[in-house]
Chain A
Amino acid sequence: MAEDKYNRKNPAVKRILQEVKEMQSNPSDDFMSLPLEENIFEWQFAIRGPRDSEFEGGIYHGRIQLPAEYPFKPPSFMLLTPNGRFETQTKICLSISNHHPEHWQPSWSVRTALVALIAFMPTSPNGALGSLDYPKDERRALATKSRNTAPTFGSSERQKLIDEIHEYMLTKALPTSQGEQSSEANTGSEESPQGPQTDIETTTEAIPTPAEDDGIVEEEEDEEALPNLTENGGIIEEPNETHTVLANAQQVLRKPESRVAKPTDDRLFTWAIYGLTFAIILLLLKKFLKANGYGAVFMNES
């Protein structure tokens, strides 16, 4: 970073450099943000779609402009990745994000604002300017698509930064419903419940508790939007079930917690099978040994 060309006595510059340092020393899995080398008042960021929402797995890029009066005046945010919640290349109306300019305060930071932005994605836009209200399945499709390539925007230097941030986020943000995650689901790692995402969970969950879902058919486009779904065949029970799943789009959004437990159940069955197999082998062995006259020894030991 070309820090030398800035006047470090300038309070805004001083503060921004502090934030860069802080951002680098406490990296988050949920977002990444860095300034351009040529201008530290211009930042690029990427946030990961919030868990248990249709944005999960998505990587959303955007730019931040810090005013010369920072941190007295708020930064402005603009998204570059199509996401179905905010228009791209339009300044996000901050009133809706608790970051209304009149109430901006210097104790907030780029980090605070990004956390707020993530929390804001699954909320209803209520017709706010710069907001979009795409159906869930379209948002989900955009989330999947957002992983493939980073947006193209601005100078080559900026593009380099965008690509770097994208690479970083790919290692942090779990994919929406990509097959590469199926192995992780079986290892029982911390994040596996989020791995095979909403679609599978919707499928499995809706069977035992159809009453919860208010009797509205979830759009079939779900499957088309996510062509990779079948790659998950190993761990989901019946991809076809999607057609019979009853789910209210809004309700699905609001009740994500209930769908998370499924991979654990699968693992339980696997172990049960191992256990039973072992018991059967043991019995056969016992019978075999008994038949050969070693029965007494064996019985004593067990």
Chain B
Amino acid sequence: MQSEDEQVVDSSKAETTKTCTQTPEVDDWANFRDDDIMQQQSAIQAVEADKIPFVGDKEPLSSLAAEYKSGNPIILEKIKVLTEQYAAVRRTRGDGNCFFRSFMFAYLEHILESQDRAEVDRITASVEYCRKTLLSLGYAEFTFEDFFALFLEQLESVLSGPEASISHEELVERSRDQSVSDYVVMFFRFITSGEIRNRSEFYEPFIQGLTNTSVEQFCKSSVEPMGEESDHVHITAISDALGVAIRIVYLDRSCDDKGSVTVNHHDFSPVARDPTNANINNNSNNSQPIKPFINLLYRPGHYDILYPNN
């Protein structure tokens, strides 16, 4: 679904590699060293940051429609259909981390509002299991423990215990603070990478179909580095690893033969798993899938958070 974007990314990567291996006399581009490239990158990021924070404010769906006012009629029609089920949208920055960032905010916000202690206990157990997975895969603990600790800290802070939970404003504030937000995003990347590597036989065909690379290479180049966009492989993996269902609502120009418009969605339902052992229980009761509490809006190349009507 993101193949076009990926191609663009790929060719720009190829170019930067080339610039480094050419001799200066041949091409001025060779003068771009890693530093320059990184400076350029951070300049681009700064421009992007001015436009939208990591996590934006909640906006009514009408603001989405306003975006396409003179645009594609199918999209406008679909937004109209969306309003039957959804009330609002919260945008995230398009920096390649939008899926993980959306997931982070939607999840923590859900815990803050539901105060679902059982869910927190459940995910904490999953996180501990993921920690063991990473260790068994040969990751050095010091490379990921800070990220784990920071996520667990956030999780604790949104749940009222002996101390009151943080306010909603505080959660928004933290999600916009790079030293929290990026750490949680990276935490999810570790979780995703660990899950994919741990069950590589399961993910291999999907990865082959997507990028034609090995599982190892995929994790190295498309999961663990910050700013690499997420695809259905990432979403499946994080949903399975953390046991959290995710609904993705697709907003694109597709329509059926008769020209009637429906909005598709796909639910990523985690496979049932006993967090105390690695076995995945395939024949267990997946018959009544839970309705996901995380709803994300997908427009080609980007994810935002959706809020259902109550």
Contact = CB atoms under 8 A, between A and B. Distances in A.
Contact of B33 (A93, A109, A111): A93
Interface in A57-116: 71-73, 76, 91, 93-96, 100-109, 111
A267 interface: no
A149 interface: no
Contact of B182 (A72, A103, A109, A129): A72
Given A19-B142, A108-B143, A109-B140, A103 B34 contact: no
B214 to A, nearest CB: 15
A300 interface: no
Nearest to B12: A102
B248 interface: no
Contact of A127 (B22, B145, B183): B22
B183 A11 contact: yes
Contacts of A21: 142
A102 B140 contact: no
Contact of A107 (B139, B150, B179): B139
A201 to B, nearest CB: 33
Contacts of B220: 103, 105
Contact of B142 (A18, A76, A93, A94): A18
Contacts of B34: 76, 91, 93-95, 100-101
Contacts of B183: 11
A109 B145 CA distance: 13
A102 B225 CA distance: 7
B20 A95 contact: yes
Contacts of B52: none
B255 interface: no
Given A95-B17, A107-B139, A129-B30, A101 B146 contact: no
B143 A73 contact: no
Contact of B224 (A11, A93, A106): A106
Interface string A5-37: 000001100110011011000000000000000
A87 B184 CA distance: 38
A189 interface: no
- Best-surrounded residue of B20, B30, B34 (most CB of chain A within 10 A): B34
Contacts of B16: 95, 100, 102
Interface in B101-157: 139-140, 142-147, 150
Contacts of B24: 129
Contact of B221 (A18, A95, A103, A126): A103
Interface string B4-29: 00000000010011001111100000
Interface residues of A, number: 32
- Chain B at the A interface: mostly helix, strand, loop or mixed? helix
B226 interface: yes
Nearest to A98: B220
Contacts of B147: 106
A129 B143 contact: no
B37 interface: yes
- Best-surrounded residue of A18, A91, A103, A105 (most CB of chain B within 10 A): A105
A129 B186 contact: no
A76 B36 CA distance: 13
B225 A93 contact: no
A243 B20 CA distance: 40
B190 interface: yes
A283 interface: no
Contact of A129 (B33, B150, B224, B226): B33
B44 to A, nearest CB: 12
A96 B227 CA distance: 21
B67 interface: no
Contact of B225 (A10, A18, A22, A103): A103
Given A72-B186, A102-B16, A107 B224 contact: yes
Contacts of B169: none
A11 B17 contact: no
Interface of A: 10-11, 14-15, 18-19, 21-22, 71-73, 76, 91, 93-96, 100-109, 111, 126-129
16 contacts: A11-B146, A72-B186, A76-B35, A91-B35, A93-B33, A95-B16, A96-B21, A101-B38, A102-B37, A102-B225, A106-B186, A107-B190, A108-B143, A111-B140, A126-B21, A127-B21
Interface of B: 13, 16-17, 20-24, 30, 33-35, 37-38, 41, 139-140, 142-147, 150, 179, 182-183, 186, 190, 193, 220-221, 224-227
The 3 lowest CB-CB distance pairs between A and B, nearest first, are A105-B224, A95-B20, A18-B142
